[in-house]
Copies of this chain bind each other. A is one copy, B any other.
């Protein structure tokens, strides 16, 4: 799929407060699903589902560590999303400027 079509999906993944809590914890360092469940008020299974979502959009990467699986937050993915959003925001602004320019020009050189 195109990068544009992925935008709403990644944003949706970031839209859940529980997932943000997970990401915040992972930002401090890699953790397993069980470890996250111990410091959060939700079950391990619920956290597992959230990690699946985050993994599918590339915000998190699983890493086998002995018998447990730790998850690592992928900062690069967040950076890529940020660049995309910034690009779009700028395009809106320039488009708006052009429109206002046209509206205020009293005598178009047609």
What residues of chain A have their CB less than 8 Å away from a CB belonging to chain B? 7-8, 11-17, 19-20, 26-30, 72-79, 81-86, 88-93, 95-96, 99
Q: List 27 A-B contacts (CB under 8 A).
A: A8-B14, A8-B15, A8-B16, A8-B19, A8-B20, A12-B15, A27-B95, A29-B95, A29-B99, A73-B96, A74-B92, A75-B89, A75-B91, A75-B96, A77-B89, A78-B85, A78-B86, A78-B88, A78-B89, A78-B92, A79-B85, A79-B89, A79-B90, A81-B82, A82-B86, A85-B85, A86-B86
Q: Is there contact, CB below 8 Å, between B95 and A76?
A: no
Q: Count this chain's copies in the assembly.
A: 2
Which B residues lie within 8 Å of A17 (CB)? Answer: 8
